[in-house]
């Protein structure tokens, strides 16, 4: 476990520097599982030290939503704070490498309810639907309206059934959607029901750039009557971005997860070593699959 000074979660609100705590390190994460199953691999020790023993987010899709309750319960019993990603929106990733999601709106609503109920009255950090708001433009007008309604429904479920969860709607990255436009979209999808927004999920932009954009977006949300905060994914931003997103070469793991850094928290939302898809330097590795070669290159910055 990694000791951090993490904000205390009181009634769903993070109180910076209020109490010492720890993020939960999932012993069944993809890198931890690989390390356990490959005791003699020469890459094992570095991957274990640099990635597998760090707190990363657990991604929850359609097939593993039943694991939420046990995951949060295990973390709570150990007095640790779990980080999860909700990733099941219909039409996910505009049908690209991480395409999929719930088959129907009704299925998504049921999944949302189950996800929120699984957390219950326990602390957790939840990043809601990476890219779902930023990618609204790939949808038809009716599809766009349905997505807005589904995201808002999910935020309502989390507010009602998971009152101690600190929830962040994904807001893309610093080089994607202009802050005024993103603020308007977040207003539509239920930002009023959650603590804030998440930036740079699965991307590579430097923390300083994400924080600058985050502060601008916060100001735009304030104009709409919302006082919000944000988190930043720093899992792979050690070398910044080269403009590519799908397993690009030369990227590096970022600083370990912590509170502060200009945001509520700097997190490892993307699990380093999990592929972005069959692309870049991992053309045969499906999205979400752990690759020790990818992991080692992220450790080395190559």
Catalytic residue among 26, 93, 170, 233: 93
Q: What is the mean pLDDT of the chain?
A: 94
The CATH fold of domain 3-300: TIM Barrel (3.20.20)
- Which of 86, 71, 78 shows the shortest CA–CA distance to 2? 78
Q: What is the pLDDT of residue 90?
A: 97
Residue 95 has pLDDT above 90, yes or no: no
Query: For the chain, what percent of residues have pLDDT higher than 70?
Result: 93
Q: Is 144 annotated as a binding residue?
A: no
Determine whether the annotation assigns residue 203 to a binding site: yes
Q: Is 215 marked active-site?
A: no
pLDDT of the residue at 104: 97
Could you report the per-residue pLDDT of 97-137, keeping only the tens digit for each?
888 999 999 999 999 999 999 999 999 999 999 999 999 99
The answer for residues whose C-beta is within 8 angstroms of residue 203's C-beta and 6 or more apart is 173, 233, 236, 237, 241, 245
**Range of lowest pLDDT (6-20, 164-178, 228-242, 286-300):** 6-20
The two tokens of residue 238 are 């050690």
Given 26, 233, 264, 276, the catalytic residue: 276
Q: List, for residues 56-89, the tens digit of each pLDDT value.
A: 999 999 999 999 999 999 999 999 999 999 999 9
Q: Are strands 21-23 and 80-81 parallel, antiparallel or unpaired?
A: parallel
Question: In the prediction, which pLDDT does 112 show?
Answer: 99
Per 3-state DSSP, the chain is made up of helix, strand and coil in percentages (nearest 5) of 35, 20, 45
Contact 236, 272 (CB under 8 A): yes
Residue 5: pLDDT band with limits 50, 70, 90: very low
pLDDT beyond 60 at 42: yes
Instruction: Confirm whether residue 111 is marked as ligand binding.
Output: no
Residue ranges of domains in the chain: 3-300
Secondary structure of 161-173 in HEC code, one letter for each residue: HCCCEEEEEECCC
Q: What pLDDT is recorded for position 11?
A: 36
What's the confidence (pLDDT) of residue 4? 42
The confidence score (pLDDT) of residue 96 equals 84
Instruction: Write down the pLDDT at residue 98.
Output: 86
Would you say 273 and 47 are in contact if contact means Cβ atoms under 8 Å apart?
A: yes
59 assigned binding-site residue: yes
Give the pLDDT of residue 18: 34
Work out the pLDDT band at 93, boundaries 50, 70, 90: confident
Question: Band of the pLDDT at 50, cuts 50, 70, 90?
Answer: very high
Asked whether residue 152 is marked as a ligand-binding residue, the answer is: no
* Cβ contact 164:125 at 8 Å: no
**210 contacts 248 by C-beta, under 8 angstroms:** no
Mean pLDDT, residues 268-283 taken together: 98
pLDDT digits (tens, 9 = 90+) for 155-194: 999 999 999 999 999 999 999 999 999 999 999 999 999 9
pLDDT in tens, 135-151: 999 999 999 999 999 99
Q: Give catalytic status of residue 41 as yes or no.
A: no
Q: Is the model's pLDDT at 289 over the cut of 90?
A: yes
Q: Is the pLDDT assigned to residue 274 strictly greater than 60?
A: yes
Question: Is residue 58 part of an annotated ligand binding site?
Answer: no
From CA 65, how far away is CA 263, in angstroms rounded?
28
Residue appearing with tokens 């600083």: 255
User: Per-residue pLDDT for 7 more than 60?
Assistant: no
Is 45 annotated as catalytic? no
Coil, strand or helix: which one is 105? helix
């Amino acid at each position: 476990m990694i000791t951090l000074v993490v904000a205390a979660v009181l009634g769903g609100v993070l109180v910076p520097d209020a109490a010492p705590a720890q993020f939960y390190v999932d012993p069944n994460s993809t890198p931890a599982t690989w390390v356990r199953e490959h005791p003699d691999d020469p890459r094992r020790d570095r991957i274990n030290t640099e990635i597998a023993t760090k707190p990363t987010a657990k991604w929850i899709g359609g097939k593993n939503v039943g694991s939420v309750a046990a995951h949060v319960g295990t973390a709570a019993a150990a007095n640790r704070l779990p980080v999860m990603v909700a990733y099941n929106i219909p039409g996910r990733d505009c049908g690209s490498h991480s395409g999929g999601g719930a088959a129907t709106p009704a299925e998504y609503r049921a999944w949302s309810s189950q996800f929120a109920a699984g957390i219950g009255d326990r602390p957790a950090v939840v990043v809601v639907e990476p890219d779902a708001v930023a990618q609204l433009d790939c949808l038809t007008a009716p599809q766009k309206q349905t997505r807005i309604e589904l995201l808002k429904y999910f935020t309502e479920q989390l507010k009602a059934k998971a009152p101690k969860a600190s929830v962040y709607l994904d807001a893309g990255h610093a080089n994607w959607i202009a802050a005024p436009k993103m603020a308007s979209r977040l207003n539509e999808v239920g930002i009023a029901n959650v603590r804030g927004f998440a930036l740079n999920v699965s991307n590579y932009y430097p923390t300083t750039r994400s924080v600058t954009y985050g502060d601008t977006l916060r100001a735009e949300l304030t104009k709409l009557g919302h006082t919000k905060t944000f988190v930043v994914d720093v899992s792979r931003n050690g070398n910044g971005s080269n403009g590519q997103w799908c397993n690009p070469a030369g990227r590096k793991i970022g600083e370990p997860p912590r509170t502060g850094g200009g945001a509520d928290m700097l997190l490892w939302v993307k699990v380093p070593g999990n592929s972005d898809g069959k692309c870049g330097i991992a053309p045969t590795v499906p999205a979400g699959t752990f690759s020790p070669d990818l992991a080692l290159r992220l450790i080395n910055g190559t």
